[in-house]
Structure formats: structure tokens, C-alpha cells
Structure 1
Amino acid sequence: MFFRNLTLFRFSPAVADDLERLDDVLPKHRMRPVGPMELSTTGFVSPLGRNEDALTHSLFGVVMVAVGGETKLLPSAVVNDELANRVQKIAETEGRKVSSRERKRIKDDVLNELLPRAFVRGSRTRAYADVVAGWLIIDTSSRKAAEDVLTELRGALGSFPAVPLAPEESPRILLTHWVSSGKLPKGFELGDEIELRDPATASGAIARCRRQDLDTDEVREHLRTGKQVFKIGLVFEDRISFVLSEALVLTKVRFTDVVLDEQPDSPESAAAEADANLAIMTGEYARLLSKLADVFKLPRPE
């Protein structure tokens, strides 16, 4: 239930009002199974699970959705091998070379024959909108997957002008300062993971540490040689641990035992348990994102 990766976008109060239409428009954009002659299909699925029908789930000013997809697994190597076999057979039996136009036609024939027999891989990406604070939080670390969710929302709503984060403070500079000085904003502590790079060149030296104390001379020595912090593990208020990148994407997000102990022991039903977990998750993330917005100066669009 809990999101493990957070790719973030912001939207204005006017856009928040438009989200009230989701229940009306999403059924027209429900995901359908991929057809026998299609490579892929995408659309909205229930955020509550595969056996549920509702395409949205709302609770305390938060609305959650999910975008699903089905993709045919047809490796290019398989297609190219079959194409090569057919071209070679023509050359042997007819004693001629195959033109580029004929080769393209043969390849289309191969695809048409193999597609109906290809395996199908399903995907599902959840997201929720914090209507009050103007955050769109997508459970992925992939920019492409996040953009795919935005594309589906824009297609359903007609427009959805959520924007990527535009920090006024350079995350890389701030993160590097935190490690070099040992002074972090109130509520934050260093975790046990870091990635440092030499920003001078694209192929510069990279140092990665995991399960290691970051407040050490070894780490600071990397900084003295010119490396900067591109990713860092952090803990917020002893309640959430995560890895923060210079792009302000959060990965490996985990709640500590302090939060997990607050989960109900014996929920009345699966639905009640889902609501309780959603309330815990969105409440904790709201505090964290509010703090990140203050630290990195992430204004909400007007």
C-alpha cells in the first residue's frame, strides 16, 4: 500500500478544483486488454487492487488513481532472426537479393504473425493528488513512467498543468553543504547511503557508500577533492527514511517502527485497513513534503 518511490509535481489551486471531475471522466479512459495485433495499451485501473472496480479513492483531501498498462513481449532479436531466415530462404530458392522495400514488408508479416502469440506483461503505477497542498505524488523513480501518468491524466481531464519541481536553491549545493558541515535542517538526520560525483565532467569519478556512517572524515575527504553529493540517505523526524537525489526524487522510502506501530492491530475490514494505511502514508508524506518545500524553496504555482 505504501509508496516506495516519490516523483513529485506541483499544481495550482485552480487545477485542484478541476480534479473533482475525475470520477466522471476516468471511466471513459479505463484500461482495456491489449488486442491481438497491438503492441501495448494503457489506461486507468483501480488504485485499490486488481479485483476492484473504482478508478479513484479519496480520503481527507487526497485522491488516489492508478495507471495500468499491458505490453507485448516481442524481443527485437526474435523478430530479426525470423526476418533473416526468411530473407535467406528467398535468396536460396529464388537466387535473388531482397530489396529494402520487400524486406520491410516481410518484417511486417513477421510482426503480424508473432504478435498474437507474444507474452503480455502488465504494469501499474499509482499516484495521488494532495488537493489541499497542491502535490502530485507518483509511486515511481522513473521520469518516463511519471510522465506517462501525467499524459493519461491530461488526456482524461483535457488539461492538467502540473509542473516539475523548480527549486530556488540548488539541491546539489545544499546536500553537499549538509554533509560537509554536518548541519542539517531541523528534523533531518543523515542516513547510511550516499553517492558523490565529480561534477566537472560527465565521466568524472563516482564514490558510492551504503550501510556506512556518513559523518566521517572518509566522506568529507571526497568533498575536499571536489566531489558533490548527488544522492543521499536521510531520516526525517525518526519516522521516514529515504534516499534523496539532486532531482528531488525520493527512493527507498520506508517508515520506521515508530510509524508502523501506529497501524491498527485488528482492522474491521480490508477496506478499513486500506483507509488507515492511506491516512498514515499521506499524513506522513504531507509533513515531509512541506518541509522539503521550505528547505529547497519549492513554490506552489499560482
Structure 2
Amino acid sequence: MWFRNARVFRFTKPFNISAEELEEKLSGDAFKPCGPQEITRQGWVPPLGKHGEQLVHSANGYHLIALRKEEKILPGPVIKEAVEEKAEMIEVEQGRKVRRKEKDEIKEQVTLEMLPQAFSRNRRSFAYLAPEDGVLVVDAGSAKQAEDLASTLRKSLGSLPVRPPVVEQAPAFTFTGWLNETIDLPGVIALGDECELKDPSEDGGVVRCKGLDLKADEIRNHLDAGMQVTKLAVTWDDNVSFVLDEELGIRRLKFGETLQDQLDDVDTDDAVAKFDAAFTLMTLELSKLIPGLLEALGGEDRSAIVEE
């Protein structure tokens, strides 16, 4: 159980919930497959998949959950062709032109007729709640996907006081300072070989660099021209590498050999025990990385957070 991405939400006020309370709340919105006439449906499923029945997997105060979304796949060209055939038949039989509004109605009818035979695409999104750390962490590659899960969780719980964390200075300012050496690079951070630079002007361009020394002259020339760093590949404490963007999204997480070796040392063939060990190692590592990263980025603005 290793997350590939991490979108962090900060609890804005104390939020304590037990695994039992969370299980009860989520059970009301447990996943059910799409009905014959439904295009999409989502709900909570066991994070352990076939190895578990509980909707919440807890370890050391961290609560892992999983949201499953089912979508019916209806190829646009197939629907368009069926609509055109029906419209052409009407025009021939009734001797009149089929207008756009009527075509839209035919499209709805065709869609409903095809839904029962449509293939389904399923996707699972994972997240964990860490009440003691004051964060919700979602394994999502985009802010929208993360917010969709948070919104669904808020609906199930009735209340979820979270927001993305805010830092005292713009991340792009800090990233740029690290590369042009106007801001000291923290000792726990090592630069990777990838970044994205943007011209801050209204019609400014974007430069994506990969496989380069980020202190090379090519990068320096773009910085001297006023471009800002909006994405940056880094390694944290020689243990975790990832790409960090200006919205504090963590993508392409890779946990280092030290953590992998610790997992390999778990002497068991039990799939659940292995899953639990990986989840514990990951959450403990992220519990150090998240606050450390916010501090490295200039410190967190906690003015809107209600402390206990």
C-alpha cells in the first residue's frame, strides 16, 4: 500500500473520529453497482479489497478509506451514428427536417437504450484521515479528483472541516529561490532533474525540463529572463522522491530503498499483514514529510485554523 500521489487537506478545527464511528458513517454510502439506466455511481469500498470487509482500515491512529467510482462507457461515435440513423429515418418517413432540440431528445433515448449493454469502467481512490496530525491525505493526481473524494466524504460524515494547506510565501517564489540560490535549499531536500518554468506575464510561455542539471546555464538563463519555477522534482531526506507543484500537490511519489527494505523484513506471506506494514511505514514517513515540507516552503499560515 504505497500512495502514488498525495494531495493534502488541513483540518481547520479539531476533528477526532474513531474507526468505529467512521465505519458507521461510511456504511450508509457503501458502493452499489450502477443500475440498468445509470451512467455513473460511486461509494465506499473496503481498502483491503477481497482481503477485507471493513470500509475502514486503521493503524496507529491513521484511517485508510477507499472510494470506488463506476462509469458506463458509451463511445461518442457509436451514439452519434445511431442518432443520425434515427433522425434520417424520421426525415424520410415524415418528410421534414429534424431540428437540433429533437436530435438532443433522440440522443437521450439512444443513450438509455444502450446503457444496459455498455461496458463499465471502475476506479478506486484511496485516502487516509490522520486526526492527530490534523490532515486528510488523498492519493490523487489532480486537485479535482482529490476534492471530489473530500466532497463525498463530507457528505457521508455530515461535516469535514478541511482546506488545502496555505504557506506564508508563494511556493513558486520559494522554488525559484532554491534554483537561483537566493533562498537556501534546506539540507533535507535534494534537487531532482525535472522542473517546469512559467513566464508570469498574461500570455507567457511554459518551459518543461527533464533529465537536466537544474543548476545548469540553460535553467539559469530562463530564470534570469524572469520565469518562475512552478513544478520541481525533489528528494526528501534521501528517502522519498516526488514532483511538487505550486498548489502543493505531490505527484509521482517514490519511496526509497530504506522503506522497501523494512517492508521486506516483515517475515510473513500474509497479504493483509504486508498491506498493514506498508500502510504503517508510508503514513509514518508522510507524517514527517508533510510538516517538514510546509516548514521548508516558508512555514504554514495557520491563521484560519482553530487550535484545541
Coarse TM-score class (shorter-chain normalised): over 0.9
2:290 counterpart of 1:289: yes
Structure-2 residue corresponding to 1:139: 139
1:150-189 matches, cutoff 5 A: 150-181=150-181, 183-189=184-190
> How far, CA to CA, are the matches of 1:3 and 1:107 in structure 2?
40
1:200-215 matches, cutoff 5 A: 200-201=201-202, 203-215=203-215
Residues 87-116 of structure 1: CA deviation (Å, up to 9, x unaligned): 111111221122455434322221121111
SS of corresponding position for 2:262: coil
TM superposition score normalised by structure 2 = 0.92
What 5-or-longer segments of structure 2 have no aligned partner? Answer: none
What 5-or-longer segments of structure 1 have no aligned partner? Answer: none
Does structure 2 retain, via aligned residues, the 8 Å contact 1:73–1:121?
Answer: yes
SS of corresponding position for 2:53: coil
Does structure 2 retain, via aligned residues, the 8 Å contact 1:238–1:258?
Answer: no
Q: CA deviation at 1:157?
A: 0.7
2:269 counterpart of 1:272: no
> How far, CA to CA, are the matches of 2:178 and 2:100 in structure 1?
59
Structure-2 residue corresponding to 1:34: 34
Which residue identity does 1:46 align to in structure 2? Answer: P
Q: CA deviation at 1:12?
A: 4.0
SS of corresponding position for 1:252: strand
1:1-302 matches, cutoff 5 A: 1-12=1-12, 14-17=14-17, 21-181=21-181, 183-201=184-202, 203-265=203-265, 266-267=267-268, 269-296=270-297, 297-299=299-301, 301-302=305-306
SS of corresponding position for 1:231: strand
Provide the aligned length of Structure 1 versus Structure 2.
301
C-alpha RMSD of matched pairs (Å): 1.8
Which residue identity does 2:198 align to in structure 1? Answer: R
Q: CA deviation at 1:239?
A: 0.4
> How far, CA to CA, are the matches of 1:23 and 1:99 in structure 2?
51
Percent of counterpart pairs with the same letter?
Answer: 37
Which residue identity does 2:200 align to in structure 1? Answer: P
> How far, CA to CA, are the matches of 2:259 and 2:234 in structure 1?
16
> How far, CA to CA, are the matches of 2:104 and 2:208 in structure 1?
46
Q: CA deviation at 1:170?
A: 0.6
